[in-house]
Amino acid sequence: MAVAVNHLRAAWAQRIVAGPGSGVIPWRVRDQGPVSVRQPRPVVFDPMAVRDMQRIYPDEQKGVRQAVEQLQAGHAPLEPKTRELVGTFGVRIDADCRLLVYPHIDGAWHVFYVGHHDYDEAERRMSAPRVAGVVVVAALGYNPDRDVPPNKPGTRSVPSGSVRCCHFTWPSAIGSIMSQGLKGSFAKQFDYTGEGIWAAAGVPKGIKDSMAGQDPGERIWIEFWTPLDTLMIGGGSSASYLEQSNAHIVCPDVSLSQFLGVYHPWHLAYWFLKSETRRTLEDLKSGVYDSWLTDPQLKDSYGKALRMIKAGG
């Protein structure tokens, strides 16, 4: 059995998607477009599915490997699932064993469950946090954890009668925000406002300075829109005035569909580095600044940006 499991680990070790928690991966997002089940696709094993492989029999592991080869070629017979598993597919390994997959926006089939009909467990792995993650990615058009945003702060349009705002948070809070939106119940309460979200209208100086080379620190910025007539603080002024003055506002809860951008420190560092001269970009790619990759203070900002640039991004 160990040999078979090691075979799988060796084959897909570089394509396993890491995630926090006991199997629930909130950053996972499904392909929301039409899915051709006959289209050849790569196959990725999520971490819990790799662990599942240790719990099934050797002949079932062999069957999984054969099913993966069929999936890669676009020949596997797929059974659409229902209930909480809508948008996912099952592959029959034998009378007792099933392999469950979903189409990921990276173009691959992601295997998220292998086992003996424990669909309660399968549904738990495909539960609410990931569905919320789909909403975020659909609203933004990118996965902020791994992608450079296609639009810089302040460039996406907002609905008429709304104001553009930015709120900053910390890495410890971004997970819940990405699954629930911005909630006033988690914010500090003030006697004169009740529960609300504090933010700066427009694109604040902190973002602009970081895009101009200032250390972005650990702050993660959420850009969003909110209706002018719902402001608890800042109401009565025009959107243009609030945005040009970066006025402080307080607004009600912000849903995921109101998000315009989520900007990690490495995004801001990336834009700064890409704006530098051609000579500097050549130095970045040649290894002159590779110490950033391991520097404790820089690896999550300039280090990650540098890694993206060296990879051709």
As beta bridge partners, residue 182 has 254
The helix-helix angle for 128-140 and 171-180 (nearest 10°) equals 90
CATH 3.30.56.10 fits 2-126, yes or no: no
* Number of continuous H segments (helices) and E segments (strands) in the chain: 11, 10
In angstroms, the CA 235 to CA 233 distance is 6
Q: Would you mind telling me the total number of residues written for the chain in this entry?
A: 313
Selection from 103, 81, 106, 104 nearest residue 91 by Cα: 81
Selection from 250, 35, 28, 267 nearest residue 144 by Cα: 267
For residues 223 and 150, the model is more confident at 223
Selection from 195, 190, 198, 244 nearest residue 222 by Cα: 198
Neighbours of 298 (CB within 10 A): 20
Q: Give me the mean pLDDT over the 24-40 stretch.
A: 54
Q: For position 23, what pLDDT does the model report?
A: 35
For residues 248 and 186, the model is more confident at 248
Contact 143, 29 (CB under 8 A): yes
In angstroms, the CA 250 to CA 111 distance is 43
Least confident piece of the model among 19-23, 169-173, 190-194, 208-212: 19-23
**pLDDT range class, residue 63, cuts 50, 70, 90:** very high
In angstroms, the CA 58 to CA 5 distance is 9
Question: pLDDT of 248-280, one tens digit each?
Answer: 999 999 988 899 999 999 999 999 998 877 778
Domain boundaries, the chain: 2-126, 145-268
By CB neighbour count within 10 A (0-12 exposed, 13-18 middle, 19+ buried), where does 312 fall?
Answer: exposed
In angstroms, the CA 178 to CA 181 distance is 6
**pLDDT range class, residue 132, cuts 50, 70, 90:** very low
Q: Give me the mean pLDDT over the 9-37 stretch.
A: 40
Parallel/antiparallel/unpaired status of strands 89-92 and 98-103: antiparallel
For residues 142 and 295, the model is more confident at 295
Q: Give me the mean pLDDT over the 131-155 stretch.
A: 75
Q: For position 271, what pLDDT does the model report?
A: 93
Selection from 229, 228, 224, 234 nearest residue 254 by Cα: 224
**pLDDT range class, residue 242, cuts 50, 70, 90:** very high
Distances (CA, A) of 132 to 178, 199, 260, 312: 7, 23, 15, 30
**pLDDT range class, residue 108, cuts 50, 70, 90:** confident
- Max intra-chain CA distance, the chain: 70
In angstroms, the CA 188 to CA 167 distance is 14
Which strands sit side by side in the sheet containing 259-263, from one edge to the other? 248-251, 197-201, 162-169, 220-227, 259-263
Residue 222 confidence (pLDDT) above 70: yes
Least confident piece of the model among 12-21, 27-36, 230-239, 263-272: 12-21
Q: What share of the chain is helix, strand, coil (3-state, %, to 5)?
A: 40, 20, 40
Contact 203, 164 (CB under 8 A): yes
Beta strands in the chain (DSSP E): 43-45, 79-80, 89-92, 98-103, 109-115, 162-169, 197-201, 220-227, 248-251, 259-263
Contact 23, 47 (CB under 8 A): yes
